[in-house]
Amino acid sequence: METFLIIGGALLFIFIVLYNTLISKKNQVDNIFAGLDAVLKKRYDLIPNLVATLKEYMLHEAGTLEKITSLRSQALQPSLNAQEKMALDKELSSTLGSLMVTVENYPILKANENFLHLQHTLHEVEEQISAARRAYNQSVTDYNNALEMFPTNVLAGFMHLEKKEVLRIDVAERENVNVKNLFR
Amino acid sequence: MATLSSLLEYYYETMQEALFPLEEERKRIVKKLQTVALFMSIGAVVFFTVLHQHMHFAPLQAGLLSAMSGFLIFMFVYRHEKAGFTALFKDQVIEKLLYQIDASLSYRKESAIDEEAYRKSELFLEDYDRFEGSDLVSGSIAKVEVRFSFLHTQQKERDSKGRERWETIFQGLFFCADFNKAFKGKTVVLPDTAERTLGVLGTWVQRMNVARGSLMKLDHAEFEKIFVVYGDDPIESRYILSHSFMEKIVLLQRKINRPIYLSFVASRIYIAIAYTKSLFEPILTRSLLEFSYIKEYFQLLNTVVGIVEELKLNEKLWSKR
């Protein structure tokens, strides 16, 4: 009887440890996603100001500016799921990126203090977004590993936990923006 | 940062001549120490004879006693002479080399990084019983406020026989500067000894290090091989340790080729580079007129001053400007 109790106790202990490991990994993914969401929000908050400043100078880019504004309002809808959010964010990133390249053609704009401030803040937020994406991917990898590795995979099967997808990070994004070029 | 050729020019055109009197002083000290050593040896023999033949000490006891007395007197003279020479050496060699690298920096040979900065860095969590340091360099390099000095922290321990022992916690260069990004939390980067020696088991050991915070796995293979990272916020740690910054740390590690500890606390960066000897101290047996000897000190100072540019700490993000 005593042996059964010891074995039963040990099994229960192992079960608790494995269960908690899986739950903490799952929560870690959610936590970091919330962090990523927070920095994305920071960028959305910058956009109205940025668009207002650019509108005065970049008359030929009205279409792009409108697109950015509409992407922002779409992204701020509360009904979006994570995948949709990330897809919109990706589109916004590339549109903003190409817009920042065209800024080069507007020397007056590059001399505007307000714009420069916005540009630098945007760059800083983008660094934070990139960090948050990397952190998110690492937490997803840890979580997915736990789902596939023995013995946590057995329990994960019972708990109906599903693998999550990592965010694709473009090579250009992995390489940090050269701050020197940006501050010229 | 100064180049080696600029040092060569400075050494042969200006510095060497000024070093002649110091070199004479060094020779005088070496001669004096040789004489003291000779006299102490003769004295020890005489003392041995007196102890053994007139006071009836056993040969072993008499030998030990006379050798110890001779050695202690010699060490007393050696320490006294070395201290005086070290002070002169720091004024005339270290300070001048530093000004040659960057004249705007300030040098205080008897000061060091304060205990508060050492503790704040959280690089070494062990309690220390002895905190010593010297050669504080401070000032602004490429508009970045920087301080560094030699530090030696030790812990008193007792062995199984109850004998007192001083264990080194850290010995080497301690560097702190303003970091180019604003952040609130703490990220600590330590040399990865566990994973390198124990493999996967090492990672498990690292994860168990609760005093350090959560273990961070970073997406830079080479950096991960050399370092282990702990932090309290995974996003912030990655914000600090961007890909390009990890690359720079790897390059710095290769250049210095010593164990490097880094921490990022409250928008500041702390770097500790471990050495097994005192830095910036003269070697009495080496001539000051040898360029290669002076060059070693120059290179050490140049590397540390160069950290700001090496890690691009001067390229500040907007919120830090």
B205, part of any domain: no
Please count the structural domains in chain B: 1
Question: Model confidence over B254-294: pLDDT tens digits?
Answer: 999 999 999 999 999 999 999 998 899 999 989 988 888 99
Contact present, B235 and B217 (Cβ < 8 Å): no
Q: Is residue B191 part of a domain?
A: no
Which residues of chain A make contact with B235, given a CB cutoff of 8 A? 32, 35-36, 39, 128, 131-132, 135
Count of the separate structural domains present in chain A: 1
| pLDDT for the residue B197 | 66
Separation of alpha carbons B123 and B110, rounded Å: 23
Residue B55 included in any domain: yes
Taking Cα atoms as reference points, which of B188, B305, B293 lies closest to residue B240?
A: B188
Residue B281 lies in a domain: yes
Cβ-defined contact of B219 to A135 (cutoff 8 Å) = no
Residue B214 maps to a domain: no
CB within 8 Å of chain A, chain B residues 146-185: 181
Q: Which domain holds residue B171?
A: 4-182+267-320
- Exposed/middle/buried for A35, CB within 10 Å: 0-12, 13-18, 19+? buried
**Dihedrals φ, ψ of B191, to 5°?**
-60, 135
Contact B244 A175 (CB under 8 A): yes
Q: What is the pLDDT of residues A143-183, one digit of tens each?
A: 999 888 888 888 888 888 888 888 776 555 444 444 444 44
Residue contact A137–B236, C-beta within 8 A: no
Quote the CA–CA distance of B21 and A152 in Å, as a whole number.
74
What mean pLDDT comes out for the span B228-240?
A: 92
With b for 16 or more beta-carbon neighbours within 10 A and e for fewer, the A14-34 pattern comes to eeeebeeebeebbebbebbbe
pLDDT at A150: 85
Closest CA to B218 of A35, A38, A139, A86: A139
B8 found inside a domain: yes
Query: CATH code at A153?
Result: 1.20.1440.20
Is residue B218 within 8 A of residue B188, CB to CB? The reply is no
- What is the structure's pLDDT at A176? 45
Asked if the C-beta of A132 comes within 8 angstroms of chain B's C-beta atoms, the answer is yes
In chain A, what residues touch B219 (CB-CB under 8 Å)? 134, 137-138
* A34 in contact with B, Cβ within 8 Å: no
Structural domain boundaries enclosing A60: 2-182
The answer to whether position B250 is within a domain reads no
**Using the beta-carbon criterion (under 8 Å), do B319 and A124 form an inter-chain contact?**
yes
Is there a domain that residue B221 lies in? no
Q: Using an 8 Å CB-CB cutoff, list chain B residues near A124.
A: 181, 317-319
Residues B240, B302 contacting (CB under 8 angstroms)? no
Q: What is the ipTM of this complex?
A: 0.77
